Amino acid sequence: MNPRLVTNYKKTGSSAPLQNSSAGILTSYPTEVLTEKDQKYTEQKILIPEFSVPGILAKPELEGLTFHFMAFPTIFEYADFRLIDGNKYGFLGFNGKPVSEFTPEFITECIEAMQTHFEEIDQPSTYSEDHGSDASDDGEDIRLLTGNVKWHLNTYLRKTTEEENKILDQLEAEGKLEYENFDEDFNYTTNYDLPVFKDENGNTLEFICRLNAPHFPGSHYLFYSKETKLVRQFSQFSKRKKREICLTETDEPNAYKNVAEVLSDPAKVLADRSYFDKKIILPKYSFPGAIISKKYEDLVFHLVVTPIFNESIDFRLTDDNKYELLRFDDKTPDDFTPDFIKRCKIEMEEDFEMMDEEPRYFFNVDEASDKSLESCDLELIVGTEPDWAQATLMREKTEEEIQSDYDAANMMTHKAPFHDDEYVTDYDLPEFKDENGETMEFVTSLYSGDFFGSYFLYYSPKTRTVRQFFQCT
């Protein structure tokens, strides 16, 4: 049983020719003509070459071969290629679906899933082995794992036998398991009996390497068949992600494509401004959905201040991106009695006193800039789920979620903010379902010193329901 070996690589500069790859050079964004037999799939925007790796870095017997990591739509688990003369890749298909079966509708689905990849293409670079003791925190290190595969998620694992455990025990005692925190999956190994690890002739595929890179999110694995030259790339992604969007005030909102606004005009937000006139709801922030995700590019979301006794408020996002009030918790507008309206007004008076007479504007700071979050005027948290102020909408992690978050902390592609958390959002709760019983999407969360508490937005694309949660901090 080969021990695992992790090697770190540092950026060295502009792209080097692939023929120099035998010297141990990794190349990011290699030219398509050097890596692909047929460039039409890159031209169709369903594939992008991300890295080229000399085979000798994985095993001596692979000297002379060059393998390529490709970005492909995250809706698929794996992609198949044929390694042909000149170390180019012939694309075969996704998840066992051959390219001969690709329909125009299927390609459109792939293109939509690849949009963010094509937006993030950078200049080619080369990376050479870093002989330092530890990877640096500057975000430029590439991590290459060889020897024995280590999965990010346990999809392809089986329990180890007693004999295998004895071998692992011996290797560990000898200090030959060169992978951090190996014991987390000590009792599991790759299940090579699964059909996904066989080539066309039933031969078992050979693990080549796993790669993690800051600008190539996820864990990416290459397997190879010497007999058929089949290369199968698996890509796995952390199930939970979080990133901060920094917004900075500007006096020239028209100079920026995506502008968030501190509103003073409720008519821009509310389909019926009478709720504002009665001091029940105070529109506060509005921001274009494109800041969050390309799939929201035609939407505008709003964060409104509500009475602190209210836990959630539902709106319908109209075609012109205004909010139509549906309910406060379990109360519809028809249930708003004079006493209830009076109670809301009392709770909201201080917030209305702080309302700006003129709107202020914010714009999205380039995330590649060195601007610290501490200097942001407004910060939005986006990803897969928020950091809740209270645990009322959460549940304890499962063992698999613990494992996934633990490994994500070692992936180096991004910080793993959920590693030390014991709880996750409980999306089985009715609070996260729309009128059709389908789970709503997390849009963003916000804590601002301009008002009390934390606010969280969820959205249902099918019903256009927006649910805003409020929690005391």
- Tokens for 275, please give them: 């709720």
* 29 and 77 fall within a common domain: yes
* 212 and 357 fall within a common domain: no
* pLDDT of res. 244: 84
* pLDDT of res. 260: 92
Does 171 have pLDDT greater than 80?
no
Contact residues for 365 (Cβ-Cβ < 8 A; gap 6+): 245, 246, 247, 248, 371, 376
Residue 13 β-bridge partners = 126
* 294 and 351 fall within a common domain: yes
Among 296, 470, 298, 303, which Cα is nearest to 378's? 303
* 14 and 161 fall within a common domain: yes
- Tokens for 367, please give them: 């995330």
* pLDDT of res. 463: 97
Contact of 297 with 321, CB cutoff 8 Å: no
* pLDDT of res. 176: 65
Does 308 have pLDDT greater than 70?
yes
Residue 98 β-bridge partners = 93
Does 64 have pLDDT greater than 60?
yes
* 265 and 207 fall within a common domain: no
* 248 and 312 fall within a common domain: yes
Residue 150 three-state SS: coil
Q: Express each pLDDT in 351-388 by its tens digit.
A: 888 888 888 888 876 554 445 556 788 889 998 888 89
What's the domain count of the chain? Answer: 2
* 121 and 259 fall within a common domain: no
Of 209, 236, 263, the position where a domain reaches its end is 236
Residue 375 has φ and ψ, to the nearest 5°, of -95, 5
* pLDDT of res. 21: 47
* pLDDT of res. 153: 80
Within 13 Å of residue 295, how many CA atoms lie on the same side as its CB? 12
Could you tell me the pLDDT band of residue 430, with boundaries at 50, 70 and 90?
Answer: very high
Q: Express each pLDDT in 255-266 by its tens digit.
A: 888 899 998 899
* 226 and 285 fall within a common domain: no
Q: Express each pLDDT in 315-342 by its tens digit.
A: 999 999 999 999 999 899 999 999 999 9
Contact residues for 390 (Cβ-Cβ < 8 A; gap 6+): 471, 472
Length of the chain: 473
Q: What percent of the chain has pLDDT over 70?
A: 87
Could you tell me the pLDDT band of residue 136, with boundaries at 50, 70 and 90?
Answer: very low
* 251 and 214 fall within a common domain: no
Contact of 371 with 362, CB cutoff 8 Å: no
Using CA atoms in the order 433, 439, 444, 445, what is the torsion angle rounded to 10 degrees? 50
| Domain membership of residue 419 as a residue range | 242-471
* 259 and 153 fall within a common domain: no
Of 236, 268, 300, the position where a domain reaches its end is 236
Does 183 have pLDDT greater than 80?
no
* 417 and 370 fall within a common domain: yes
Among 459, 262, 465, 467, which Cα is nearest to 351's? 262
The dihedral sign for the CA sequence 351, 473, 315, 256: positive
* pLDDT of res. 180: 47
Distance, CA of 97 to CA of 80 (rounded, Å)? 9
Does 230 have pLDDT greater than 90?
yes
Distance, CA of 467 to CA of 241 (rounded, Å)? 21
Helix (DSSP H) and strand (DSSP E) numbers for the chain: 7, 27
Contact residues for 145 (Cβ-Cβ < 8 A; gap 6+): 4, 5, 6, 179, 209, 210, 211, 212
Within 13 Å of residue 67, how many CA atoms lie on the same side as its CB? 28
Contact of 248 with 362, CB cutoff 8 Å: yes
* pLDDT of res. 439: 96
Would you list the DSSP string of 254-278? GGSSSEEEE-S-GGGTBSSTHHHHT
* pLDDT of res. 418: 80
Residue 254 has φ and ψ, to the nearest 5°, of -70, -10
* 125 and 222 fall within a common domain: yes
* pLDDT of res. 410: 64
CA 164 to each of CA 2, 71, 182, 195, 209: distance values in angstroms, whole numbers, following the listed order:
12, 34, 14, 22, 21
Residue with tokens 């050479």: 128
* pLDDT of res. 231: 98
Of 205, 236, 267, the position where a domain reaches its end is 236
Q: Express each pLDDT in 271-280 by its tens digit.
A: 999 999 999 9
Question: What global pTM score does this model have?
Answer: 0.74
Please, what's the largest Cα pairwise distance for the chain?
81
Q: Express each pLDDT in 10-44 by its tens digit.
A: 888 655 444 444 467 888 888 776 788 888 888 88
